[in-house]
Amino acid sequence: MSGFDNHKFMRNAIELSMENIKKGGGPFAAVIVRNGEIVAASANSVTNDNDPTAHAEINAIRLACKKLNTYYLSDCTIYTSCEPCPMCLGAIYWSHIGKVYYGNNKTDAGNIGFDDSFIYNELEKPIGNRDVEFVQLLPEEAITAFKEWENKSDKKEY
């Protein structure tokens, strides 16, 4: 991304996060840039949408993918007002975004009540020891979809 004003794009994300607080949302926002142009910008809308997955990064990724008509954002950079949580980090990896700039870090977020450490801790536990009960059910039936996918000759890999 050399030659582009990273500070300008980060300031866009920070300003959007400030505006979102005034609208009743959380203090988070993200901007996705490709070739020096903003292709998507969004704030956290968890409480406004009653959607726990409506984090700023997720919202921005959805908008960028729709606008660019692709699920592969490897030529994009995301500027986010805070270090991404585990869910958003997963979405960033799944969308193949090439670079992440962030303002606040996860400790800053934890200090104001947005602590993700419990999720990181859960991921380290064996599945049977997690706080949420996980029960495998009908794996011998569920595997048929995987086998069909594996044998599909015209599948679109992602």
Residue 3 binned pLDDT confidence (cut-offs 50, 70, 90): low
% of the chain at pLDDT higher than 90 = 94
Which amino acids are annotated catalytic?
57
CA-only gyration radius of the chain, Å = 18
Phi, psi values for residue 21, rounded to 5°: -60, -45
Question: Distance (Å, rounded) from C-alpha 49 to C-alpha 36?
Answer: 30
List pLDDT tens digits, range 44-83: 999 999 999 999 999 999 999 999 999 999 999 999 999 9
Report yes or no: 94 and 61 within 8 Å, Cβ to Cβ. Answer: no
* The pLDDT of residue 1 is above 80: no
Report yes or no: 73 and 95 within 8 Å, Cβ to Cβ. Answer: yes
Q: What is the pTM of this model?
A: 0.91
Please state, in angstroms and as integers, the Cα–Cα distance from residue 135 to each residue in 34, 106, 123, 143, following that order: 42, 31, 16, 16
Number of CB atoms found within 10 A of residue 30's CB: 33
